[in-house]
């Protein structure tokens, strides 16, 4: 393992991503299960951090968790025409129950009367139950969230970013008016943005999807879009205004205050384990994983430095004492006192795993009552080596806490600066195609004539897609112009990029 | 809803259980998905409490969470002969991907080369990955846990206790020696016992299953068994010694310290949403759900009592203030200030939902700076009404905390007393059949000749099964005797009961 190398980003970005994940022990392709992955402990611990923070935000905004069946009757999917069209090809289908042995080979036994699909998303099955639970305006709003696994039989898969099965949360809400549902759509998109900014240290742009990129069955899809280090966009979360589409398909009605029966207005919104991939891509470097402290399963690793057995006993004891103190300050700490591994190898390994702060603790530190710390990304000294800092042992917890806060902020600002540098406003087709030539991509604000045909033509010519129509203030001023491709009138600029 | 009644236990215990669940809003049958259920918010909140506490205990004992694929290649299941035999009939099988429309009807599209089963449990797929991850004794022990959904196509289902899909955790560990694996099996069974006693307030007996009741593929299954109010036993958790069975089936080997390659020794252990059903059955009464405070999603409900608008404003303001104070002491509090519902209806509703403590707050209380509290189960006053207690408003948080601790302890002791009264040692076949006549059941310690044939004969005659061979000290002294059914020699008494 110590010999394994990470392919540099400049050499092969896709391979770099895989190497970072593999060497940090985040996940691996399942191989024996088509398009699926195994989320390994270090990767799952990042997802748990995400879950805990998001779950708190969902509950603070009045949502309750529930759990609906994994299997959905085939006929349910067909009830909303756009929905089934969007998901039909991606469904895994359960057709049988039971197995039997025939000529020594295990085969399926009982064919089901009606097949079930493994949920690709749960609007349909939840719509069915909403119809049973909702009767009056007093039952509204109904604000439900589900943490679950879902399956989509994707052709091309990539660890975390696109997998046959993934873990996610799906919010499903029902409201008495369209205005209230629209507020919910925006409220939850803001929760996602806050989470991306505050926890993932990943700046995002909020906006509305074009009809072409809309969730199948929604009247409007809003999203948060992040820029990755290769200039490609990553859709990090979506929040959908479902209008009355599912309300009508599943006959979800309520009696309003005037005593009249109406269909409910619904929303749904979700983020998934894709966010782990986003965190990897947003911050990591050629030395491996870089994690914002608020996502890091381990905040601090302490490496005792010694030459003799006496020194070992002293530094390990001191490391354990410091670890206990830091833990009482709410930090997660690992003391790496393995005997058969040299300090340099330990540094290398924990860097690859994205631990934000390393403490080196030698006999001299004990004497001086100080510790040497190294941030996962540190400014370079004049001699070209990364800067190390000396901190007093006393009150180390708060001091490390401050370092972690600084590091969290540093990553966000670095990502924001990168995005600023890689966001352009373009008005000529030549400049546009230049940006997207070969592997190139950036966030490009450009005019578009508003038609699906032009959107498609641009995609075919450049592989760039419209990521969103950014909300006011999250892109250039909303001004009319002429389409970059057709020269026809355009109401506003939209955000283009190649995407994951 | 307010008119709905709970069937008394004495009248129809099974119906009572369903009524309690329905009127507390814990879950409902999915109906459209065979044998499955929807876990509603109040039920899911109980499961979240269980998850949080168990997860902490698993991590404290050195386990890490991970996530493995939902789908398992059919061929994997066949690799362990007993395992496939145990699970073959219960599998849901994915045979196709994609859907297409034929004559306006949606049908399956692409047949898979190899079908997948939806995991009924994950020993096989995890065995496959353990083989990739384990190479040396240095990689051991490997201590993994997974929180997941699983499916078992059961014939007869019952909310929480037995459902087609359920949520659970499954621990999977690999060790360098059988002794170490056996220690792990027992360590986790102790974690389950501690959780049952400390959190669920539900006393359990630990023991070993007979070969007949063993997990398919294990060399030994240990369990915790609880006694329900109808005298039936409920298996609340299991911890399995898998020996080298899966190690051999999936070729999971390691190089030991002497440089020799050996198969690993594995364990697996799990508890599920069945525990929510156990909590319901263990404590609830004819007024509805009773929950131990450590499982209660809401600890305290405050009901303001008033006659005028002025009184309403005053009592609701005071209730909000008290709620804020209690919340800062870590309690979950609900102020029920609904205008269109009378206090008596509110009491009734929150009792059915199992809230451990109710606070009634009227104008006189404000004047006296006291609150009136009522425990969910309170001793009766001489006039036949449940006792209410008056507590000073000052320092109410710690006082309520003490009441909740007392209530937690009270429920455990009440359940223990019930179990003591309903546990008997029996030496004659007549007495044995009397206990199990009709709907009857108790915990019965009786001698058994150790053969599967006798075990089966006893089951056929009485419907009672051997729940376990209790560990030393958790049943009568281990002494030889003669089998209750055959009169043949018996090494020790074992625990019989009808079971869920």
Q: Kindly report the nearest CA distance between residue A71 and chain B, in angstroms.
A: 7
Residue B2 has a pLDDT of 43
The C-alpha of A75 sits at a distance from chain B's nearest C-alpha, in angstroms, of 7
Q: pLDDT tens, B33-60?
A: 999 999 999 999 999 999 999 999 999 9
Residue B4 is predicted with a pLDDT of 72
Backbone angles phi, psi at A133, to 5 degrees: -90, -25
Candidates A78, A106, A113, A164: best to mutate against B (most CBs of B within 10 A) is A106
Question: Which residue, among A69, A111, A132, A168, would best test binding to B if mutated, counting the most B CBs under 10 Å from its CB?
Answer: A69
Judge: B44–A65 Cβ closer than 8 Å, yes or no. yes
Taking CA–CA distances from B32, the nearest residue in chain A reads: A73
Determine, for residues A99 and B88 on separate chains, whether the beta-carbon distance falls below 8 Å: yes
Residues in chain A with CB shorter than 8 Å from the CB of B115 are 96, 108
Tell me, what's the pLDDT at A1? 42
**Cβ contact A127:A111 at 8 Å:** no
Instruction: Please give the structure tokens belonging to residue A148.
Output: 């679950």
> Please, are residues A89 and A120 in contact by the beta-carbon 8 Å criterion?
no
The two tokens of residue B347 are 């009491």
CA distance A137 to A258: 10
In chain B, which residues have their Cβ closer than 8 Å to the Cβ of A109? 89
When scoring A34, A56, A93, A353 by the number of chain B Cβ atoms within 10 A, the one with the most, hence best to mutate, is A93
Distance CA B125, CA B309 (A): 64
Which structure tokens are listed for A295? 């996502």
ipTM of the complex model: 0.97
Look at B97 and A66 and tell me if their CB atoms are within 8 Å: no
A-B contacts at Cβ under 8 angstroms: 178
Pair of tokens at residue A287: 């030395």
Q: In A, which residues are within 8 Å of B134 by CB distance?
A: none
Largest CA distance in chain A: 84
At B222, list the tokens: 């240990």
Under an 8 A CB cutoff, do B95 and A96 touch? yes
Q: Do B32 and A73 touch (CB under 8 A)?
A: yes
Kind of pairing between the strands at B105-118 and B253-255: unpaired
In order of A224, B49, B199, the CA distances from B412 in angstroms are 49, 18, 9
Residue-by-residue pLDDT tens, chain A, 500 positions: 445 799 999 999 999 999 999 999 999 999 999 999 999 999 999 999 999 999 999 999 999 999 999 999 999 998 988 989 999 999 999 999 999 989 888 999 999 999 999 999 999 999 999 999 999 999 999 999 999 999 999 888 999 999 999 999 999 999 999 999 999 999 999 999 999 999 999 999 999 999 999 999 999 999 999 999 999 999 999 999 999 999 999 999 999 999 999 999 999 999 999 999 999 999 999 999 999 999 999 999 999 999 999 999 999 999 999 999 999 999 999 999 999 899 999 999 999 999 999 999 999 999 999 999 999 999 889 998 999 999 999 999 999 999 999 999 999 999 999 999 999 999 999 999 999 999 999 999 999 999 999 999 999 999 999 999 999 999 999 999 999 999 999 999 999 999 99
Contact at CB, B129 and A33, closer than 8 angstroms:
no
Tokens coding B422: 């309903």
Residues of A in contact with B338 (CB under 8 A): none
Residue B239 burial (10 A CB sphere; 0-12, 13-18, 19+):
buried
Mutate to test the interface with B, among A70, A89, A90 (most CBs of B within 10 A): A70
The shares of helix, strand and coil residues in chain B, as percent rounded to the nearest 5, are: 35, 30, 35
Are residues B66 and A167, on separate chains, in Cβ contact within 8 Å?
no
pLDDT at B379: 87
Q: Residues A138-151, buried b or exposed e (16+ Cβ, 10 A)?
A: eebbbbbbbbbbbb
Helix (H) or strand (E) holding A169, with range, is strand A165-175
DSSP state of A171: E
Of A65, A68, A75, the CB nearest to B48: A65
Determine which helix (DSSP H) or strand (DSSP E) holds B116, and give its type and residue range: strand B105-118
What confidence score (pLDDT) does residue A215 get? 96
CA–CA distance, B171 with B121 (Å, rounded to integer): 10
Beta-carbon contacts of B169 under 8 Å, excluding residues fewer than 6 positions away, are B51, B54, B55, B58, B145, B146, B147, B148, B270, B271, B272
Residue with tokens 């970059």: A484
Which residues of chain A are within 8 Å of residue B117 when distances are taken between CB atoms?
99
Contact check, Cβ <8 Å, B167/A116: no
CA distance A345 to A354: 14
Which of B414, B398, B184 lies closest to B283, judged by CA? Answer: B414
pLDDT for A155: 83
How far apart CA A153 and CA A165 sit, in angstroms, is: 8
Q: Looking at residue B3, what is its pLDDT?
A: 55
Q: Measured between CA atoms, how close is B108 to chain A, in angstroms?
A: 7
Q: Which of A74, A99, A118, A338 to mutate to test the interface with B (most CBs of B within 10 A)?
A: A99
What is the spatial distance between Cα B139 and Cα B118, in angstroms, rounded to a whole number? 29
Name the burial class of residue B273, with classes exposed (0-12), middle (13-18) and buried (19+) by CB atoms within 10 angstroms of its CB.
buried
Q: How far is B151 from chain A (nearest CA, A)?
A: 9
Angstroms from B278 CA to nearest CA on chain A: 19
Name the nearest CA neighbour of B185 among B151, B214, B155.
B214
* DSSP H helix total and E strand total for chain B: 14, 25
Token couple for B226: 């609880």
Find, among A468, A419, A413, A460, the residue nearest to A441 by Cα: A419
Can you tell me the distance from the alpha carbon of B415 to that of B197, in angstroms, rounded to the nearest whole number? 10
HEC assignment per residue over A425-444: ECCCHHHHHHHCCCCCCCEE
DSSP 8-state code for residue B235: E
**How does pLDDT run along chain B (500 residues), one tens digit per residue?**
445 799 999 999 999 999 999 999 999 999 999 999 999 999 999 999 999 999 999 999 999 999 999 999 999 998 988 989 999 999 999 999 999 989 888 999 999 999 999 999 999 999 999 999 999 999 999 999 999 999 999 888 999 999 999 999 999 999 999 999 999 999 999 999 999 999 999 999 999 999 999 999 999 999 999 999 999 999 999 999 999 999 999 999 999 999 999 999 999 999 999 999 999 999 999 999 999 999 999 999 999 999 999 999 999 999 999 999 999 999 999 999 999 899 999 999 999 999 999 999 999 999 999 999 999 999 889 998 999 999 999 999 999 999 999 999 999 999 999 999 999 999 999 999 999 999 999 999 999 999 999 999 999 999 999 999 999 999 999 999 999 999 999 999 999 999 99
Among candidates A94, A98, A167 on the partner chain, residue whose Cβ is nearest the Cβ of B118:
A94
| Residue that has been written with the tokens 């070993």 in this structure | B208
Residue A422 DSSP label: T
Q: Which of A164, A169, A130, A120 is nearest to A148 (CA)?
A: A169
Beta bridge partners of A482: A489
Contact A94 B98 (CB under 8 A): no
List, in order, residues 6 or more apart from B113 with CB less than 8 Å away.
Answer: none
Rounded Cα distance between A196 and A381, Å, is 31
The mean of the pLDDT values for chain B is 96
What is the secondary structure of A365-419 as a DSSP string? HHHHTEEEEEESS-PBPTTSSBP-EEEESTTHHHHHHHHHHHHHHHHHHHHHHHH
CA B301 to chain centre: 25
Confidence at residue A392, expressed as pLDDT on a 0 to 100 scale: 97
Closest-CA residue to A240 (of A258, A262, A213): A213
């Amino acid at each position: 393992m110590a010999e394994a190398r990470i392919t540099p980003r400049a050499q092969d970005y896709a391979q770099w991503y895989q190497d970072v994940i593999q060497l940090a022990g985040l996940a691996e392709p399942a191989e024996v299960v088509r398009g699926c992955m195994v989320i390994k402990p270090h990767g799952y611990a990042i997802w748990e951090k995400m879950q805990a923070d998001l779950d708190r935000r969902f509950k603070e905004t009045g949502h309750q968790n529930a759990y609906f069946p994994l299997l959905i009757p085939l006929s349910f999917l067909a009830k909303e025409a756009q929905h089934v069209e969007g998901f039909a090809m991606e469904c895994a289908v359960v057709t049988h129950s039971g197995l039997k042995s025939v000529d020594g080979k295990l085969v399926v036994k009982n064919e089901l009367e009606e097949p079930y699909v493994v949920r690709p998303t749960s609007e349909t099955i939840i719509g069915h139950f909403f119809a049973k639970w909702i009767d009056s305006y007093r039952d509204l709003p109904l604000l439900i969230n589900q943490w679950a696994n879902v399956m989509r039989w994707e052709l091309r898969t990539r660890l975390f970013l696109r997998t046959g099965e993934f873990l996610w949360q799906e919010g499903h809400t029902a409201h008495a008016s369209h205005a209230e549902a629209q507020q919910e759509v925006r409220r939850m998109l803001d929760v996602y943005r806050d989470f991306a900014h505050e926890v993932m240290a990943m700046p995002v742009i909020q906006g509305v999807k074009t009809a072409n990129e809309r969730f199948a069955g929604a009247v409007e899809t809003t999203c948060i879009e992040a820029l990755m280090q290769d200039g490609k966009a990553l859709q990090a979360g979506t929040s959908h205004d479902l209008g009355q589409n599912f309300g009508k398909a599943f006959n979800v009605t309520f009696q309003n205050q005037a005593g009249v029966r109406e269909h409910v207005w619904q929303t749904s919104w979700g983020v998934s384990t894709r966010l782990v991939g986003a965190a990897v891509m947003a911050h990591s470097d050629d030395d491996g994983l870089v994690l914002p402290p608020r996502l890091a399963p381990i905040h601090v690793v302490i490496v005792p430095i010694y030459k003799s057995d006496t020194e070992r006993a002293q530094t390990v004891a001191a490391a354990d004492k410091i670890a206990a103190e830091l833990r009482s300050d709410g930090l997660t700490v690992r003391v790496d006192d393995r005997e058969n591994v040299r300090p340099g190898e330990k540094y290398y390994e924990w860097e690859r795993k994205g631990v934000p702060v390393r403490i080196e603790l030698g006999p001299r530190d004990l004497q001086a009552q100080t510790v040497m710390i190294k941030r996962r990304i540190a400014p370079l000294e004049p001699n070209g080596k990364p800067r190390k800092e000396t901190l007093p042992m006393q009150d180390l917890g708060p001091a490390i806490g401050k370092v972690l806060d600084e590091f969290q902020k540093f990553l966000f600002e670095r990502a924001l600066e990168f995005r600023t540098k890689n966001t352009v406003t373009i008005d000529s087709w030549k400049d546009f195609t230049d940006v997207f030539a070969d592997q190139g991509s950036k966030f490009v604000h450009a005019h578009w004539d508003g038609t699906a045909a032009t959107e498609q033509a641009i995609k075919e010519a450049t592989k760039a897609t419209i990521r969103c129509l950014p909300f006011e203030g999250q892109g250039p001023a909303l001004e009319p112009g002429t389409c970059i491709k057709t020269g026809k009138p355009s109401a506003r600029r939209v955000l283009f990029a190649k995407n994951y």
